[in-house]
Chains A and B, each alone.
Chain A
């Protein structure tokens, strides 16, 4: 089965600073999803990456997929308190709407 490892497990960043979260897969990535979770709430979809080298941005969040390294990165520019939460990467082994497995999550704390 596909395993996803995220790093770091937790991150404390001062407001306004940039940060990067990584997600590494044990197998080839055919599709990669990024979700955000606030405490006590469900997962909110952020972005989906399908092709090697693909890069997507939404507001101040940018995600990139590196197929050769079986890795994806999530970069936040000029972090804000609203960015705080748990970020999870997910992957579908065949990108066919089947079993979606998730990484261990990265807990992000923003200090004012």
Chain B
């Protein structure tokens, strides 16, 4: 398996623009997580899906952020409109019950100027 695949790897956008991050989980995994990593706050869980259903989105910072998982092999994280403080590395991770530890993608480094 190729692992968790995220795209793009790098994204530079202007403040106010819409940004969409994409994730393809490992085939057969039923849980998917979106994390954000910054120097100040470390690794934060944004949202968690189980069997394509959002279970906990309490980590989503505000209404500008939204995430979808239309099927078991694809998820998106959208920021609209983007702001400079959204600059961070966004990770997607997936897992199954056994083993229960998440497999992480390579991340998307987002820079909002």
Chain B residues bordering chain A, tally (CB within 8 A)? 24
User: With an 8 A cutoff between CB atoms, is B54 at the interface?
Assistant: no
User: With an 8 A cutoff between CB atoms, is B95 at the interface?
Assistant: yes
Chain A residues bordering chain B, tally (CB within 8 A)? 23
Q: Which residue of B lies closest to A97 (CB)?
A: B100
Interface bits A97-112 vs B (CB < 8 Å: 1, else 0): 1111111110000000
* Residues in chain A near residue B50, CB distance under 8 A: 97
Does A48 contact B101, Cβ atoms closer than 8 Å?
Answer: yes
Does A48 contact B91, Cβ atoms closer than 8 Å?
Answer: no
Does B56 contact A102, Cβ atoms closer than 8 Å?
Answer: no
Q: How many A-B residue pairs have CB under 8 A?
A: 47
* Residues in chain A near residue B102, CB distance under 8 A: 45, 100
Q: Which of B33, B42, B104 contacts A103 (CB 8 A)?
A: B42
Highest count of chain B CB atoms <10 Å: which of A95, A102, A104: A102
User: With an 8 A cutoff between CB atoms, is B45 at the interface?
Assistant: yes
Chain A proximity of B34: nearest CB distance (Å): 12
Does B91 contact A100, Cβ atoms closer than 8 Å?
Answer: no
User: With an 8 A cutoff between CB atoms, is B55 at the interface?
Assistant: yes
Does B45 contact A99, Cβ atoms closer than 8 Å?
Answer: yes
Chain B contacts to A: CB under 8 angstroms: 4, 31, 33, 42-43, 45, 48, 50, 55-56, 91, 93, 95, 97, 99-107, 109
Chain A contacts to B: CB under 8 angstroms: 31, 33, 35, 40-45, 48, 88, 92, 95-105
